[in-house]
Amino acid sequence: MKNSKKRDEIISTGKKLIIEKGFLNTSVEDITKKMGIAKGSFYTYFKSKDEFILAIISEKIFQRRHKVNEILEKNLPFEEAIKEFLFQSISFPLVDTESFLIIMNLFKNINLLSENIKISILENTKLGNHGILKILNKYKDKLDLSDETDIEKYAYLIRAFINSFYETSFNPLMNFGKRETHITISDIKDCINNINLEKEINFMTKAIVKLVLK
């Protein structure tokens, strides 16, 4: 029987090493040596290094789906629901800096990754759009949305707000011309220190409500 605690320890150790050395420079052997376990123990839980990183991404995908469902179940007024969704969407770097850093570094080196990891990263990106669509569909009778085309159009605009936040706040770190370097916790924290989260969320919420509310 597999030990879920051991699996979590492997993920935790691997994340720390990836943050320190970068995904491409972290091997299965690095992880097992750090933990003082045999390689076979790693492969009991993950068939490969790719499957290991997919587990980290999948965890974030599950959490994001769960958060959207929680918002929908609360039956909040639209403005409060969209505000909470925005908070969940743009607070990620603050509440789980390590996972955000890993995903940023994967994006930075995306052309060097396997197809499975690329697909998983894309799914994680698309999930934000699905969450927006679910919220707009729930409140469509109260919004200025006449058909599915309107819903998709406004979902795209809301996603553009969120993407703009990330591009403005973190895009300078990507530095695509220098793939041999990787983003550090210190880099992320420097960016976070310049973010006024409440101001960003309030601005986006007001703009979105003005766009779609009847």
Are the CB atoms for 92 and 142 separated by under 8 Å?
A: no
Per-domain boundaries in the chain: 1-46, 56-212
CATH code, 56-212: 1.10.357
Q: Token pair for residue 127?
A: 């999930």
- In DSSP terms, 143 is beta-bridged to 213
pLDDT for 177 equals 47
**Alpha-carbon Rg of the chain, whole angstroms?**
19
Q: How far apart are CA 174 and CA 104, in angstroms?
A: 8
CATH code, 1-46: 1.10.10.60
> What percent of the chain lies above the pLDDT cut of 90?
35
Q: Chain-wide mean pLDDT for the chain?
A: 86
Q: How far apart are CA 10 and CA 50, in angstroms?
A: 14
User: Residues near 19 by Cβ (< 8 Å), separated by ≥ 6?
Assistant: 98, 101, 102, 184, 185
pLDDT for 92 equals 87
Taking the alpha carbons at both ends of the chain, their separation in whole angstroms is 56
Q: Does pTM top 0.75 for this prediction?
A: yes
pLDDT for 84 equals 95
Render pLDDT for 89-129 as a digit per residue (tens, 0 to 9): 899 888 888 888 888 888 877 888 888 888 887 777 777 78
Residue in the structure block whose two tokens are 């390590």: 98
Residue in the structure block whose two tokens are 């690329």: 118
